[in-house]
Amino acid sequence: MRKELLNQWVSIAALCLGVLLAGCATVLPGNGEKPDAQLLDLALSGEPLLGYHYTEAELPERQLFELTPAMRDFAERHTAGVKGDFARARALHNALLTPSVAGGHGITYSAFYTLTGADAFEERQANCLSFTLLYVTMARHVGLDAYVNEVDLPPTWDLRNQDAFLFLRHVNSKVRLRRDEVVIDLEMNRYSSTYKQRLISEKLTAAQFYNNRGMELSAEGKFKEAFLHLRKALLLDHEQSYIWSNLATIYRRNGYLKEAEALYLQGLHIDSGDLTIISNLSGLYRQMEQPEKADTFFQLAERHRNSNPYFLYYEANKSLESGDPVQARELLKKAISKEKAEVRFYDLGVKIYEALGDQKQADAMRKRATQRREAIISPS
């Protein structure tokens, strides 16, 4: 097993494709190790990275729900005369996404940069968080009861690297109607009402924005700016383990291993099931030449990986492709027993049972896949 692959994973929340290990409840060896308080304070001060304690004036401050005159006029024009909240919510959504040559604004998806809503409107491109900021701001202006909605998209195993698990963190907009509610998503074909989801506050939304920008700046090598954005995110919401993990990763990349350890451990204290942190600690302790700790965290991560339904699905697919449908069937049965709502499992089941010559079971899998798809909201 290649242990060196389980290191320096980062979490980007609220993007359509954010890298994050799926979390689940766990008990850490020794009930977990608390971070060194002095090292934690030092890391939070920014002194190792900046050379001095950061000042409040340096922290970024963006108006995430700013309504510009152009946004106001666009929202009013495209909802004027439209009766009913549902119809107005859909009209605004369609107007933002319809190409400009057809009378819309022509916003397109771009995963590479997290913009404010106003900037997304001006540049006509957005990731999921940027589009949500834009839509919620404009929807509220025309009288719709709109909120930010966080969605847990189904995880998948990264086929480029089987030690990388992709947990898709995502946000969209939810509009409350008189007796119902409607979801507005930048990519409606990827959303299902069956996904776990929750309304989140503007404060947590802002924390996710600064977290994303911090990691984008880190990828550009702008570590001072990255630190300030992540520090801002933690001041807004210090109960999100992925923000602690991302700040730890910046310290680790700059060679401050003890500070990184303290930040990782603080994140794990908040969420003992954060497998991103567990995996990163395995790599960190190996880097710090503490093999016993490294192996403990590596084995913990491996145990969860091998019991995860999406990894079992990945292994079942691999077995089918290698010509072993019997092994694929057994692996898929285990996956379905752990996660019965995933349509991809039943699609694979059709292929497996057809390869086995069991048409009755293949048809049963096809029927169950169809039932799951009926729960998915169609594009508006």
At 225-236, the pLDDT tens digits run 999 999 999 999
For residues 258 and 206, give the distance between their C-alpha atoms in angstroms, rounded to a whole number.
Answer: 29
For residues 62 and 142, give the distance between their C-alpha atoms in angstroms, rounded to a whole number.
Answer: 23
CA-to-CA separations, 59 to 155, 208, 209, 287, 367, in angstroms, rounded? 33, 15, 13, 31, 54
pLDDT at position 233: 98
Phi, psi of 198 (to 5 degrees): -160, 145
CATH 3.10.620 fits 1-22+49-241, yes or no: yes
For residues 50 and 43, give the distance between their C-alpha atoms in angstroms, rounded to a whole number.
Answer: 10
The owner of tokens 């300030």 is 228
Q: What is the domain partition of the chain in residue ranges?
A: 1-22+49-241, 309-373
| Token code pair at residue 136 | 């919620």
For residues 135 and 173, give the distance between their C-alpha atoms in angstroms, rounded to a whole number.
Answer: 7
pLDDT at position 168: 59
Crossing angle of the two packed helices 257-270 and 241-253, in degrees rounded to 10: 170
Question: Are 241 and 271 in contact, with CB atoms under 8 Å apart?
Answer: yes
Residue 379 DSSP label: P
pLDDT, one tens digit per residue, over 3-30 is 322 333 344 433 333 333 333 333 344 3
Crossing angle of the two packed helices 325-338 and 343-355, in degrees rounded to 10: 160
- Other beta carbons within 10 angstroms of residue 17's beta carbon come to 14
pLDDT at position 375: 62
CA-to-CA separations, 54 to 76, 100, 102, in angstroms, rounded? 43, 44, 49
pLDDT at position 112: 81
pLDDT at position 40: 98
Q: pLDDT below 50 — which residues of the chain? A: 1-31, 159-163, 377-380
* Three-state secondary structure string covering 347-361: HHHHHHHHHCCCHHH
Over its C-alpha atoms, the chain yields an Rg (Å, rounded) of 23
Q: Which fold has domain 309-373?
A: 1.25.40
